[in-house]
Structure 1
């Protein structure tokens, strides 16, 4: 990964190309872009907040909690996908 060319726009382009269905309407595409960038902004805010925590243990606890939240979401999506399959 080239850190000099790393950008949210590049990540969006990858997401757009590989995740959003070709049949998505212009409005759906716009909504997905807004959601993608909003999520990226939230992550940047979290990263900044974590970097500013003077107590490393508090930062680790926050990261652990965020990872637990992520794992719970992914588990929920996995269960939903299983339910949707015939």
Structure 2
């Protein structure tokens, strides 16, 4: 049994863009490749995304901090926040 804690990653995107599977798949793949456990949640409703104060979409929320996906879309940068 693993003693690693599971990191919750929230993907925020605008409702007009629907669910964004490539980001979810990338987060899950990068976590697996680096022996990290993640739980991914996706939010697209304005009432859910505005709580985090995201200024651009898509965004990621990790450990309570909001990151612009555009700035962390490379695997090497993404793993640094997981």
Q: How does the TM-score come out when normalised to structure 1? A: 0.27
Q: Which has the higher helix share?
A: 1
Q: How does the TM-score come out when normalised to structure 2? A: 0.28
Which has the higher relative contact order, 1 or 2, with Cα contacts under 8 A spaced 6 or more apart? 2
